[in-house]
Amino acid sequence: MFAKGPSHSTALGPGCAGPPLANPQNFGQAGPGAHEHGSHQPSCGAAPFAVDASMLRSAGSQPHKHTQSPYVTGSSVLGITYAGGVMLASDTLASYGSTKRYKSVQRLVKVNETTVLGAGGEISDLQYILNMLDDLSTEDYCADDGQSLSSQELYSYLSRVMYNRRNKMDPLWNSLLIAGLESGKPFLGSVNMIGVAFSDDHLATGFGSHLARPLFRKKHRPDMSEEEATALIREALEVCYYRDKQSINKFQIAKVTTAGGVSISDAFALPTKWEYQAFVDPTRDAVGVW
């Protein structure tokens, strides 16, 4: 077998197979010299080239690719309900693999006057989702009838979007939390990349589902005050920060309350304590390492 030539020629442009002009190559002909009798032989004596018909079939576009794994990702999002409101929290990091690539990405987003969205997973997919939600909000604005989608409607919509994309084997690589007020009552819902959707009065995605939810299960009450809720979510953020390698100490908290609507805090840092002996002098008991 001969190696396949490049699917894209720098000389001919995207969608056309063939050698670059300066360095003509034989690409997958059935043996040395096979092309000499073929119709591909240019009369000018240059190396033969051909247009790859299978590439042209898709009207000059690149073959469609599905997300096999995420590239730039956000970590956990936490959410709890409390008396008169609901609260989401996350850090502001977008990682590129193990690189802390973008440190000020807002992963909590106001969707409309009663709803916020928090997202973990692929950031570009999040931006695509936000574009879709913007379109919905624009539709509401243009209709000018004073109605907008409620948080539960957005939750249902997003669950269909995520499920439909998984059906196409082309998922949006996110875990989403939707928080808002549904006829005055706090609502908190979760949708993941394969369309599993459920709501609860405390939720967390990613690492948070292992680190934060046990805390929530122990300490959360639906009737807790905003101060108690804030304290609980800060505690949970701290635990996530200590144990989740892909997180940074820069957080935001989003609230939807019956009193004040949607508000998203400025980024803040939590006081942390790293003065454990093993942190201060990690090599004390391991002479020779550094």
Known catalytic residues are 67
Q: Which of 52, 86, 206, 240 binds another protein (CB under 8 A)?
A: 206
Count of residues touching another protein (by CB under 8 A): 51
Task: Please list the alpha-helical segments (H only) found in the chain.
Answer: 53-56, 123-143, 151-167, 208-219, 226-243, 277-280
User: What is the sign of the dihedral through the CA atoms of 227, 229, 235 and 240?
Assistant: negative
Q: How far is the CB of 222 from another protein (least distance, A)?
A: 12
Q: Which of 132, 196, 269, 278 binds another protein (CB under 8 A)?
A: 196
Q: Three-state SS for 56?
A: helix
Q: Three-state SS for 120?
A: strand
From residue 7 to residue 36, the character string flagging contacts with another protein as x (rule: CB under 8 A) and all else as - is ------------------------------
Task: Measure the CA–CA gap between 195 and 169, rounded to whole angstroms.
Answer: 12
Q: Which of 245, 259, 274, 286 binds another protein (CB under 8 A)?
A: 245
Q: How far is the CB of 283 from another protein (least distance, A)?
A: 26
Residue 281, beta-bridge partner list = none
Q: Which of 166, 219, 221, 250 binds another protein (CB under 8 A)?
A: 166
Q: What is the CA radius of gyration of the chain?
A: 27
Residue 254, beta-bridge partner list = 88, 264
Q: How far is the CB of 51 from another protein (least distance, A)?
A: 31
Side chain identity at 113, as an amino acid letter?
A: E
Which tokens in the block code for residue 100?
Answer: 């802390």
From residue 98 to residue 137, the character string flagging contacts with another protein as x (rule: CB under 8 A) and all else as - is xx--------------------xx----------------
Which tokens in the block code for residue 284?
Answer: 């004390």
Task: Measure the CA–CA gap between 87 and 94, rounded to whole angstroms.
Answer: 21
Question: Please, which residue, 48 or 70, has the CB nearer to another protein?
Answer: 70
Q: How far is the CB of 273 from another protein (least distance, A)?
A: 25
Which residues of this protein are in contact with another protein, per CB under 8 A? 67-73, 95-99, 120-121, 143, 145-147, 149-150, 152-153, 156-157, 159-160, 163, 166-167, 169, 171, 173-175, 190, 192-200, 203, 205-206, 209-210, 245-246
